[in-house]
Every structure is written in structure tokens, then in C-alpha cells.
Amino acid sequence: MTSSCLVIIPALNEELSVGMVVRRTVESGFSCLVVDDGSRDNTADVARRAGAHVVTMPINLGIGGALRCGFRWAVAHGYHSVVQCDADGQHSPELISQLVTTQESTGAHLVIGSRFLEAGNYDVGIARGWLMKRMATLASRAVGTSMTDTTSGFRCIAQPLLGEFALHYPVEYMESFEALMVAADAGYKVVEVASQMSHRVAGIASNNPLRSMGFTARVLLGGFLGTRFKISPLHPSA
């Protein structure tokens, strides 16, 4: 097992796919934690039988709340870094080591697996694609280098940023973009690495286009008004 990195898998009603994701993660040499975010099915039992640590939330908090719970569990158990991975099979567990290796070689605090860094066939649609390009432009300015995928849920987060996220990570939807911007503004190093994303193995996606646009507008407005969540700035020696 890769003892210094924990794979966090937030899951909501993913009993048909989470077992496969957990098994492939363990076979890749990583410990994993499934945060069952108030599922109404057997997600927790399936994940546990497949070899995962499991934390079961009494109610559905949403992706941000589930991740914050996972970050706190990782910090409490002494992990230096975590990799966030979807429970629906869209992220390949075999690529987790690529994120970890990039983090270790670059010293980055946040490594994002980008669907668009290299030419591929991942299609997000015209409207969503336009919005994602605008968000990438804003992120590029904050980070100081070109960013292509600000909403990817396949990412590696290392200390000391992990500790900050454990305390302050936003509960709301679209937390991935806000977290990236906050980390960059606080001086943490953010890099991208080319990755791939597949179609979900089973189940129904929870994405809602109108909901996404509403939360995106809130996050963008928060940047102008200074209402984004706050973390401690990076210490020069970290």
C-alpha cells in the first residue's frame, strides 16, 4: 500500500459501481475511504466488502460536505496527501499514481487531472463548454499559468493545503472551482496533468445544467465580492 496517500471516494447511491472502483483502487496499491453521503441503497456495505474504509453520513450533505469529511478523516489518520476519485467509474483508479507522482515531483499542493490538456474526445456540450472556458481563463490568471479544466473531480491535494481544506472546504456544489481559486490566491502551487474520463458505469448523474449555472454565477460573484471561503496563506517554507 502507498501509506502516505489516501484515495477519497464520495458516493451517493452508487452500489452498482463503487465496489469495482474500490477494488481497482486497492489493486493499484492505495488505501481508500468511501464517504457514503446519505445513500438510500447498499453503497456503504458494497464499499466495505470491496476493501474500503467507510464513513456513513446520516444525511446527504452534497459533494463538498462529503469531501470535507474525507479530508478530516485523512488528516486525523496522518495522511500527507489525498486523491479525490468519483464512485461512478468515470475516473480510472489506474491513473491515481500519475497524480501522486506529479505531486511528488513538482511539489504542488493541488494537482488536477485535466480532461482537456491533451486532445481527446470528451464532449461537454456547447453551453457548458463555453462556461468552462471562461472559468479556465479566470483560473489561469489566478494560478499564473494556463489551466484547462477547473471543474475536474479527479485531483490530488497535499499538505499543508489538505489541512486547510479539512477545516474550511466549502459544502456547496461547484466547490472544485472555488477551491482551486482560493488555493491559488493563497499562494499554493497548482498544476495540471493530462488525464482521461470515461462514461459512468451505472446509475444516474446528479448534474443539473441550470443548477450548475446558478452555482457558477454565485462562485464567480463571490470572487468579485470577496465572499469566497478563506484559508491560511502558504508559509514560504511549506
pLDDT per position as a tens digit, 70-109: 999 999 999 999 999 999 999 999 999 999 999 999 999 9
pLDDT for position 14: 97
Out of 17-26, 35-44, 117-126, least confident range: 117-126
Q: What is the pLDDT of residues 137-166, one digit of tens each?
A: 888 888 888 899 998 999 999 999 999 999
Residue closest to 148 by CA, chosen among 134, 167, 166, 127: 134
Q: Is the CATH code 3.90.550.10 the one for domain 2-225? A: yes
- Counting every residue written for the chain, the total comes to 238
Residue predicted with more confidence, 39 or 228: 39
Give pLDDT, residue 61.
92
* Cβ contact 95:117 at 8 Å: no
Among 220, 75, 85, CA closest to 152: 85
Q: Say how far apart CA 68 and CA 66 lie, in whole Å.
A: 6
pLDDT at 134: 80
Query: Do 44 and 10 contact (CB within 8 A), yes or no?
Result: no
Q: What is the pLDDT of residues 25-67, one digit of tens each?
A: 999 999 999 999 999 999 999 999 999 999 999 999 999 999 9
Contacts of 22 (CB under 8 A, 6+ apart): 9, 32, 34, 47, 50, 51, 52
Give percent of the chain with pLDDT exceeding 90: 63
- Whole-number pLDDT of residue 183: 94
Is 33 in contact with 79 (CB distance < 8 Å)?
A: no
User: What are the tens digits of pLDDT across the range 179-194?
Assistant: 999 999 999 999 999 9
Domain range list for the chain: 2-225
Q: Does position 225 have pLDDT exceeding 50, yes or no?
A: no
pTM: 0.86
